[in-house]
Amino acid sequence: MTPPPTGTADPTLVPPAADPGSAPARPGSAPAGPGASATSPSSPVAGAALVLVGMLLVALNLRAAITSLGALLDEVRDGMGLSGAMAGVITTLPAVAFGVFGALTPRLVRRNPPARLLVVAMVLLAAGQLLRVGTGSTVVFFAGSAVALAGVAVANVLLPLLVKQYFPHRIGLVTGAYSMTLTTGAAAAAATTVPIAHLLGSWRAGLAVWAGLAAVAVLPWLPLALRGGAARRAGTATAAGSAPARIRPARTRLGWAMAIYFGTQSLSAYAIMGWLAQLFRDAGFAPEQAGLLLAGVTALGVPIALLMPTYAGRLRSLRPLMLTLSAAMAIAYLGIVVAPHRGALLWVVLLAIGQSAFPLALAVIGMRARTTEGTVALSAFTQGAGYLIAAVGPLLVGILYQATGGWTVPIGFLVVALAAQTAAGMVIARPRHIEDER
């Protein structure tokens, strides 16, 4: 069977409304046309509801594997005999995996239905998490982590595509819903992993429980994946006759501005997820308290993540909003250096506000593309290149922390990254579309 041509979205999941000139889809409706059977031809609303439930379950998993490890980083370092530099590599691995595997996702989408890819992604996430806690080998531990994070990387790119395809008139709302769910999963893992590990008697058990959550996320996508094969065979000929020009964000100013904005905010996010609990431990907090403070950053971000994309979609210019988020981060960084213990709660609140740049960036992906082809290309490049930029964050923070024995220099590095984020944000704040720059 000949795969759809380059740049063509999967016919099993693409609604005609996603392309210019097509009749608008009803808000929340499932795709029609050749790919309608990917859900249920007789019940489009139920099909769209199943996709939404599946997206939320996937989102719930996308950061749990990372924040759970951050909460137990000291125990993992002791149990695996890791140096500070090796611990830095662990906290850098998510960004590297997201960059490498995220960049490959458009190629996978052209050959496989997104539903099938999500099934594989969640299976990899569950298997990788079990592999890394079932070994005493550092190499196998890193390999298991990479397998799990490969699954997360694919899902990262697919979710904005599915929002654009299934909910073209509710991009802000649905992006906010899955961003909120993602944040909830991160917060829950950060807050409960240490108590679970203590209850079950080991850090390995504390990390292993999150594999079960990934297994649950497979379930809604199984019927969609099974139905996708027939729909794909029916839609391939149609897709082959109408291949759009390939969109290459790497050749555009908007694409690079999106990648830098996403990359620098992710750099900060992964440094915080990987090291904030350790920072608060060094400031005198008990491990459980430090884990709760880390969880506070993500928990406070839950309502912000829900509202931010919808609010951003109503603004003509995003510049005031982006400047506000950067200011919150800058004040939090200064406070962490000056009074990490006394002002901890305030810094957590400000970090939560500043980190809402993440759901904002996800929403802007959909806002800066007109078509599903543009969305998947911009999503893959933004997240692929962006996460590679972010990869240096946790590693450099770990190296600087070990070299200086304190947090002033590592926080200074994050301030420099914040300046780059703000500059890129000023570029993408003005309304434009990636299709116009190719």
Is it the case that residue 21 has pLDDT exceeding 70? Answer: no
Residue 135 identity: T
Q: What pLDDT is stored for residue 244 in this prediction?
A: 52
CATH code, 138: 1.20.1250.20
Q: Which residue has the higher pLDDT, 228 or 77?
A: 77
Per-residue CA distances from 396 to 61, 389, 413, 422 (Å): 26, 12, 8, 20
Quick: pLDDT tens for 270-281: 788 778 988 998
Q: By the 8 A CB rule, do 97 and 149 touch?
A: yes
Q: What pLDDT is stored for residue 311 in this prediction?
A: 87
Nearest CA to 279 among 409, 142, 89? Answer: 409
What burial class does residue 436 get, using C-beta atoms within 10 Å of its C-beta: 0-12 exposed, 13-18 middle, 19+ buried?
exposed
Within 137-283, residue ranges assigned H as helices are: 138-166, 171-200, 203-208, 210-218, 221-240, 253-282
User: Would you say residue 12 lies in a domain?
Assistant: no
Q: What DSSP designation does 241 have?
A: T
Within 23-136, residue ranges assigned H as helices are: 44-61, 64-71, 73-80, 84-109, 114-133
Both tokens assigned to 93:
């691995």
Q: What pLDDT is stored for residue 255 in this prediction?
A: 93
Q: How far apart are CA 117 and CA 114, in angstroms?
A: 5
Is it the case that residue 102 has pLDDT exceeding 80? Answer: yes
Q: How far apart are CA 298 and CA 296, in angstroms?
A: 5
User: Would you say residue 112 lies in a domain?
Assistant: yes
User: Would you say residue 52 lies in a domain?
Assistant: yes
CA torsion angle 48 52 57 58 (round to 10): 90
Nearest CA to 75 among 178, 187, 206? Answer: 206
Q: By the 8 A CB rule, do 353 and 304 touch?
A: yes
Q: What DSSP designation does 112 have?
A: S
Nearest CA to 308 among 376, 243, 253, 361? Answer: 361
Average pLDDT over residues 181-189: 85
Q: How far apart are CA 346 and CA 139, in angstroms?
A: 39
Both tokens assigned to 89:
């590599």
Q: Which residue has the higher pLDDT, 37 or 72?
A: 72
User: Would you say residue 63 lies in a domain?
Assistant: yes
172 Cβ neighbours under 8 A, 6+ residues apart: 309, 310, 311, 312, 313, 314, 363
User: Would you say residue 3 lies in a domain?
Assistant: no
Is it the case that residue 243 has pLDDT exceeding 60? Answer: no
Q: What pLDDT is stored for residue 331 in this prediction?
A: 97
What does pLDDT average to over the chain?
A: 81
Neighbours of 230 (CB within 10 A): 12
Indicate the pLDDT class of residue 12, thresholds 50, 70 and 90: very low
417 Cβ neighbours under 8 A, 6+ residues apart: 264, 267, 268, 393
SS3 content of the chain, % helix, strand, coil (to 5): 80, 0, 20
Q: How far apart are CA 56 and CA 44, in angstroms?
A: 18
Both tokens assigned to 120:
């594989």
Q: How far apart are CA 40 and CA 272, in angstroms?
A: 42
Nearest CA to 157 among 372, 381, 370? Answer: 381
User: Would you say residue 116 lies in a domain?
Assistant: yes
Quick: pLDDT tens for 281-327: 898 888 888 888 887 887 787 788 788 888 887 888 899 999 999 99
Indicate the pLDDT class of residue 127, thresholds 50, 70 and 90: very high
Q: How far apart are CA 149 and CA 155, in angstroms?
A: 10
Looking at the 3D structure of the chain, how many domains does it have? 1
Distance in Å from the first CA to the final CA of the chain = 30
Indicate the pLDDT class of residue 228, thresholds 50, 70 and 90: low
Both tokens assigned to 20:
């210019």
Q: What DSSP designation does 370 have?
A: S
Q: Which residue has the higher pLDDT, 182 or 3?
A: 182
What burial class does residue 284 get, using C-beta atoms within 10 Å of its C-beta: 0-12 exposed, 13-18 middle, 19+ buried?
exposed
Q: How far apart are CA 190 and CA 59, in angstroms?
A: 16
Q: How far apart are CA 335 and CA 347, in angstroms?
A: 6
**Segments forming the whole domain that contains residue 203:** 43-234+246-436
Both tokens assigned to 134:
């079932």
User: Would you say residue 226 lies in a domain?
Assistant: yes
User: Would you say residue 32 lies in a domain?
Assistant: no
